[in-house]
Each structure stands twice: as C-alpha cells, then as structure tokens.
C-alpha cells in the first residue's frame, strides 16, 4: 500500500491533462470551512482539487465535496487523499 505522500504524488502526476492543480495547506484562519476553500481555488482557476485529510475523514469529505461540486463550485476532478492515521492520544 502506498503511503500518503506517494498516493498524492501519483494523483498529481496523473492530473496533468486536467489543467491547473493546487496542492495547498489551509489553516482554519484562512477560510471558514472546506466549502470556502474549494470556492477560493475554483475562482483561481484550479480544475483538479486534491484534499488531504485524516484517514477517519476521507469518506465524509468525498461525500461533502461531491454534493457541492456543480452547485457551490465546479472542478473537473476532486480527489480526497488520506494523510494517514490520526493520533487520537498524543503524548
């Protein structure tokens, strides 16, 4: 199984024909929620959105972005990639 970095690189490598791709790190102070993030990058001309989230949020984020694609924003392709297992009990 690929680790998160290899998986993300593979998706980006395969997205060349889709046009502009964004790889960004967004903090909560930049946008109020993921819909705001998506809207911002759509306005900047991004065609392929790649969202990296904790492994426990991948399915939820895929459904959310699919629900709003074509309504609040429009991307040719949206990928949601796991950043790996989240540490629920940090030391």
- Indicate whether 45 pLDDT > 80: yes
Quote the tokens at residue 23. 């790889």
d(CA 60, CA 30): 21
Quote the tokens at residue 40. 């911002």
pLDDT at 63: 95
Average pLDDT over residues 10-29: 52
Judged on CB neighbours under 10 Å (0-12, 13-18, 19+), 39 is: middle
Residue 82: band (very low, low, confident or very high) from pLDDT cuts 50, 70, 90: confident
pLDDT at 13: 47
If we measure between CA atoms, which residue out of 31, 67, 75 comes closest to residue 50?
A: 75
Q: Of 16-25, 47-56, 59-68, 72-81, which gets the smallest average pLDDT?
A: 16-25
What is the residue-averaged pLDDT of the chain?
Answer: 75
Residue 4: band (very low, low, confident or very high) from pLDDT cuts 50, 70, 90: low
Asked if 86 contacts 55 with a C-beta cutoff of 8 angstroms, the reply is yes
């Amino acid at each position: 199984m690929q680790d998160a970095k290899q998986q993300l690189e593979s998706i980006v490598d395969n997205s060349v024909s889709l046009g502009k791709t964004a790889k960004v790190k967004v903090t909560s102070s930049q946008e109020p929620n993921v819909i705001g993030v998506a809207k911002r990058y759509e306005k900047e001309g991004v065609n392929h959105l790649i969202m990296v989230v904790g492994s426990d949020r991948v399915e939820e984020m895929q459904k959310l972005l699919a629900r709003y694609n074509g309504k609040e924003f429009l991307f040719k392709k949206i990928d949601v990639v796991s950043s790996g297992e989240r540490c629920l009990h940090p030391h």
